[in-house]
Structure 1
Amino acid sequence: MVEDQKFYLGVDGGGTGCRACLCDADGVPLSFAKAGSANIMSSLDVARDSILQCCSEAVEQIGLPAEKLSQIPVYMGLAGAEYEALNTKLKQRLPFENIIVETDARISLEGAVGSGDGAAAIIGTGSIYQYRYNGVEKTTGGWGFMVGDLSGGAWLGRELLQETLLVYDGIHAGSPLTQAVLDQFGNNPQKIVEFAQGASPASFGTFAPMVFDFADKGDSFGVRLVHKAVANIEETLDRILPDATSPFCMIGGLGAIYAQRLGDDYKKHLIAAKGDALSGAVSLAIQSFNGRIL
């Protein structure tokens, strides 16, 4: 019977969405589910609700009764989980008997390179770098777009809105990109400020596609901003990689977009990720609760 089998849950939760995979004891995926944001820095309650929603749906899909949910071991990789106080509060608000909460960067690296050495630049709404060499795993970045997360989508959006206000004030020369932003806000700078005051990182990140689109058309500010973003990534890679020939992955929602813009010296050592963050969460669930390396 289904109820008698061993099951494990892997969860990948970020600023733009939460995904869950229910697998068997061999790590074979049985069901998948999605829900909303699960960034515990942005909102602990929203994250909890998203996690419960997608985990419950994954369990329901294979016909397990709802009361079995709390008995399934779960390994989560969540944005904001590096903050221990939030991590602890989340665990207290979830029903799971066996739960491990790690950062989304941790499961991303596992999905990208497996259990061996390697590095991953994870660029999406935010940015963070996770790497493991000689069995020692470290993290760089991930401080939030207000003071960090350089080159992430939210950072791009914030930089664009800031430049647009400088253009409006006549301090900087404008470009089609900054004019497009002004048009979007009815040429009213107060609306930009009102948006910024209440906007989430994901909301700021909605401007990222516009930046790349205009940059590809030669927009002066778009080109400068993308160049600055790429330079941030290359500078960080220079610091975290053991040497100039070390391979690395570019993952996350903007990873592939930035990968094609890196300098040739970096592209030569760029490798494809083995899997995604959710597959990393599943792998770590099996390792942690079943003692097996997939």
Structure 2
Amino acid sequence: MLELVFLLFLGFAASIFGSIVGLGGGIIIVPSLILLGSRLTGEEIDHPVAVGTSLAVLIVTALASTLSYTKKKRVDYRSGWLLFITSGPAAMIGSALTGHLHNGVFQLIFGIFMLLMAGLLVARDHLKPITRQWPIRRTYTDEEGHVHTYGYAILPALMIGFCVGMVSGLFGIGGGSLFVPVMVLLFRFPPHVATATSMFVIFLSSILGSGVHAALGEINLWIVLALIPGAWFGGRIGARIASKMTGKGLMWLLRLTLILLSSELIIEGFTKL
């Protein structure tokens, strides 16, 4: 009973945070299942199962967040569908590769990736978004009436979609840690639009990625069912919280989280090598 309560809380907390920063919550679920698996199920949870389980829960989290963001008209569906063209298949490839990474190596690579993303976000204040005029231009009017202009080209967008999809399937984190900073720095997306659109793409990619993990027997269905209720409500609440945060606050929350979790994963990875 205590284990069930913990899983409900884990799904709720991870989804709230994941929705706020556009990660989808997997960045909390995957390490938690790996570190606490023996206490929850009586035996250790291998990282492929943790990743597959996380992706399955991300479907619910990302759907709840996307619906909430849609009410605020912050999801750029046209851009999201374009990114999904490559992120979807790449998520399937990444999911198939997860099981080939040994314990220790997985945590180390995961941690280094998170640290690189954190470094990119820390440097963001000292970097200016690219001023290039992209061939495809989009506009977004925020609640205060300010008009934001951003854009992209199809080929770079497809390449980024592929990289993010690979990360999503391989690590089970949704890929928002890469999507959001790249969309903000390279394409000048407003942070709130980047977060909302990221959640939409995560929703689509998670369906394909978790399908591969399910076919490989790398999903713990009972844990998924325990996490889903909290994930649904947490995803919706997180989207509402994010709607009230400033873009600057959103980015600082993402930076601090990535630094803390990347440090923990790198240390754990070295101890298991």
Q: Given the two structures, how large is their TM-score scaled by the length of structure 2?
A: 0.25
Which structure shows the bigger proportion of residues in helix conformation? 2
Larger radius of gyration: 1
Which structure exhibits the higher relative contact order, with contacts defined as CA atoms closer than 8 Å and separated by 6 or more residues?
2
Q: Given the two structures, how large is their TM-score scaled by the length of structure 1?
A: 0.24
Which structure shows the bigger proportion of residues in strand conformation? 1
